[in-house]
Structure 1
């Protein structure tokens, strides 16, 4: 697939531009004015290319996208798909101005306390023709206005080299971010030369208690919500702002304070979760891979995880860096991968919880998860794909015994619904409504669960031939959503909302 557009630069701004792509699936080759700028592989992660051949007017941008899957993809193309493979440019493409000093890797490490600490760091590139010192004005503001301002200057940089900038602020009695009070602060960095960079952040502390409870700001969590895919009719993964707003609106209408996706979402969704107090469980698309696949693709998986953490580590709403989902017979390759993944997340952002998502039954949970994973997400479909809900009490006790130091979450549970019919028939709206109500009642009785997520918020296409355990499927759509693909709320939406309304974000003593 080929994309072509023409554009002119703003008047008086003839030099110093990068082209930024927020997500292209899967392999992109980029040409500007007849010359190749570069290439990139992999969706969901942004990339930038220098606009070295850019002109004041009459620029022609040409992008070739090859969406054919291969066994080197994440997840690999020789495995069954869990969501539709929408090829092409999936998120925004835009020009980013590069001035004589260019800031990247802007980070704020916010530590609660009396006072709290906000440490702002970044990497400044001397993009000018002569040596210069990276000078910056750093301003922190919060819910009650400006907190502090600092002027910082680093050692002189030769052209084409980088240097760090650092500013540290004491914040008297910072307002803490939580689902109940999503207090946000802003860091604004203005470099000599005119570039301005801003980021939102929050003061909060994620932790796991010695007896395996997930904590936010020292209080045990009891989160409720639904997972989602970025998928809308006629647009697939190429969502518009209104589509993203609809996802957030449906979560809020559900009473959700918790959500999750199988891949790093659009940055605007994370910004909305920050504002709305919705905790996010972030993961990379290492989905249902076998141990042999993980061994073969470990480098790509780790680089994707690193890029996701670097992009998203200022977001207050992110609780978890999840490195995998439903790995099959992982063995020592899985252990090795997870050890390296945890090292990356701890080094780049040790303020979150390191997680894995796995399936029940118990044999799917290796003993090495305990002590390696801070949190374990359980994808359980007992009562839908087989078994009875009553079996779950013993199963949960066994999981806790196998991983006593990890906090447990239910990251998926659900049932398909695509038609009317009696409550006794799988696949009917009545069955889904009853099944989710009984499942939530069971989960409400589990004292150690940190949160639960319905699978899924909305229906979505999967792959040709998909049946999802539904006696009367309509492939390729997964009908486990409590909102239809067209956007209509199913009867289960109301009962889930009612059940969620009875539970607070934090457990009561």
Structure 2
């Protein structure tokens, strides 16, 4: 026994020594980067190689005047007066005051070493979501700006400013004060209280990456399937644009995968600081299709290699781009959403990336919890007012669930949408959302907005027409929709003609609506029939419904669990009588913060929390959870 213990001890010491040796075998730069918290990992799979999660210690400091000195905030390496934080971070999480919602200015900073000191390498910093206006500084110098949230943006770190062997200081000024022209817009209520679509959390709301580029970078990647019918052979089209960050022209070969099959996209000489595009369409016989019943995913990753000179024994891999694709079709046929030629009658939930302790800076464990709750109820679709974190879409791909992807062009007043710059920024949101998420088979609809004026005129009509054309120019394989407030007085609107899908946000019997026109829930059925008559060729979806609930009480008392249960059973009972409906979504799955003073039609509210969800922000299930579970699991949602 003693000899066995000694042997085990020796093996343990040997293992530790080998691990230590492996760590010491790394370059000094790599060791320094690890010490700074840079990790060679990502929180999701899709994307280019060479990503380093900028974890570890960050620092935050409020800028009360909004006019803080760049020399102090972005150039001075002294962290005195700064608060240590981890990123993602919402600086006003747990603060539900008016001032918190109205927004302010804050700074984040992080010192880091490059993982490699090689001079030939270029570096990019990638922000997954910053709310809302950001200015990025490297070693005290401004290197880029961005406006918007919920979508990623990247900024190249200029070689002239980088310290290859020393500590670099990355600083980000974040301003989350909103304007009526933003997405979502700000405003004031009649009593002077700030308004907006959902709580205005400021900060670095999703993670930040440092990205290594060995001259060649994948700029855009799309892998789009074409499946004419559910039993047909398919085609897959690869499109990619690469960029040469180097100072010399480089011959590059691009290859891809379709499962075990190798696909050659071609070879091109890419000039210094120039771009090159590659397109390849291939046939796929007897494809394994992606569906809720069988969510098969093909590995369709791309690789860029150095193709010259020809005397080189082995080509060098410059970059890879990881992506998976499901072969499936999503079309509107005779006014119905069809997946692989079969009709959809999905049941789903809206969601927000919100929590009591972290605000919108949640992690993958909470995202996974939301997905598992939805599956437990029997839901097959998620919708949000903005593109969700990539983790959601990758998991929906894997699980055979669906996604309605929307841009936060929410309740923008016509007088602001009339401004050319506002429409341009809205179009930029659409284009970015499509390019970021188009390789996910779970995505079935691009939505260009939510609850714009229910009586659209030429301004909204112009925006809808341009936004639909833009989305389809990037991705011609999916329908485009819009979510609208459901009011009988809206009537038939010719401005909706370019849309394939119309989402109806209906709260008949909960809100009263203009002139009380939706106060009586018994008028819901006739209203839905009128919508169908207006738009017989469009797929119609219930994009929102629900009733607030936070207590036990009589079924006729608004705000009780019993009222909410009765509401759910009545509304989904009406939907079941409309076989032409393509789906219905309860708003939302889990409670979230809206705005100061939020009541939501509940006589006993708990502002600012939106309480229509079947699950509270503490993770507790309300009685309606069981009703929705019975309804959802009792509905044939596909086929």
Superposed pair shares fold, TM > 0.5? yes
Query: Residues 215-294 of structure 1: matches in 2 within 5 Å?
Result: 215-294=338-417
**Distance (whole Å) between structure 1 residues aligned to residue 280 and residue 333 of structure 2:** 32
Largest Rg, 1 or 2: 2
Q: Secondary structure at the match of 1:133?
A: strand
Q: Deviations over 1:397-421 (max 9, x none)?
A: 1111111111111111100011222
Extract structure 1 runs of 4+ deviating beyond 6 A: none
Structure 2 match to 1:408:
540
For 2:583 and 2:144, the matched residues in 1 are separated by 43
- 1:262–1:285 Cα contact (<8 Å) kept: yes
User: What's the counterpart of residue 7 of structure 2?
Assistant: none
The answer to whether the 8 A contact 1:134-1:163 is kept is no
Per the TM alignment, residue 287 of structure 1 is displaced from its structure 2 partner at its CA by 1.1
Deviations 1:369-423 (A, max 9, x none): 5532111111100011132322112111111111111111111110001122222
Identify which range, 72-81 or 97-106, moves more after superposition: 72-81
Say if 1:152 and 1:165, in contact at 8 Å, map to a contact too.
yes
C-alpha contact (below 8 Å) 1:154/1:163 kept by paired residues: no
1:358–1:365 contact (8 Å) kept in structure 2 = no
Contact 1:379 1:411 in 2 (8 A): yes
1:188-207 alignment runs, 5 A limit = 188-192=301-305, 193-207=317-331
Match of 1:126 among 244, 257, 271: 244
CA distance in 1 between partners of 2:114 and 2:472 (Å): 41
Q: Give the Å deviation of 1:33.
A: 1.5
- Aligned with 2:187: secondary structure? coil
Cα displacement (A) at 1:73: 1.0
Match of 1:308 in 2: 433
- Name 2:600's counterpart in structure 1: 468
Distance 1:381 1:355 in 2: 20
Q: State how far apart, in whole Å, the 2-side matches of 1:271 and 1:161 are.
A: 31
Q: Find the aligned partners of 2:130 and 2:492 in 1 and give their Cα distance.
A: 35
1:153/1:399 CA distance change after superposition, 3 Å: closer
CA contact (8 A) 2:185 2:197 kept: no
Alignment match of 2:531 (pick from 399, 403, 406)? 399
Question: What pairs with 1:107-126 in structure 2 (closer than 5 Å)?
Answer: 107-112=222-227, 114-126=232-244
Which ranges in structure 2 are unaligned for 5 or more consecutive residues? 1-105, 189-194, 306-316, 513-518
Question: For residues 215 and 151 of structure 1, what CA distance do their matches in structure 2 show?
Answer: 32
Contact 2:299 2:325 in 1 (8 A): yes
Q: After superposition, where does 1:4-153 map in structure 2 within 5 Å? A: 4-13=109-118, 15-52=121-158, 53-56=161-164, 57-78=166-187, 80-112=195-227, 114-141=232-259, 146=260, 148-153=261-266
Cα deviation code 1:192-216 (max 9, x no counterpart): 2421111111111111223x12211
The CA deviation at 1:345 is: 1.0
561, 570, 586: which one aligns with 1:429:
561
Tell me if the contact between 1:233 and 1:485 (Cα under 8 Å) persists in the aligned partners: yes
**Which residue does 2:29 correspond to in 1?**
none
Structure 1 position 152, deviation (Å): 4.1
Measured in 2, the distance between the counterparts of 1:357 and 1:250 equals 24
Equivalenced residue count is: 501
Contact 1:370/1:405 (8 A) holds in 2? no
CA contact (8 A) 2:253 2:268 kept: no
> How far does residue 366 in structure 1 lie from its aligned partner after superposition?
4.4
CA distance in 1, matches of 2:181, 2:497: 30
Which region of structure 1 is more displaced relative to structure 2, 187-196 or 497-506?
A: 187-196
CA distance in 2 between partners of 1:166 and 1:407 (Å): 32
The TM-score normalised by the length of structure 1 is 0.95
**Cα distance change, pair 13–423 in 1 and its aligned pair in 2 (3 A):** farther
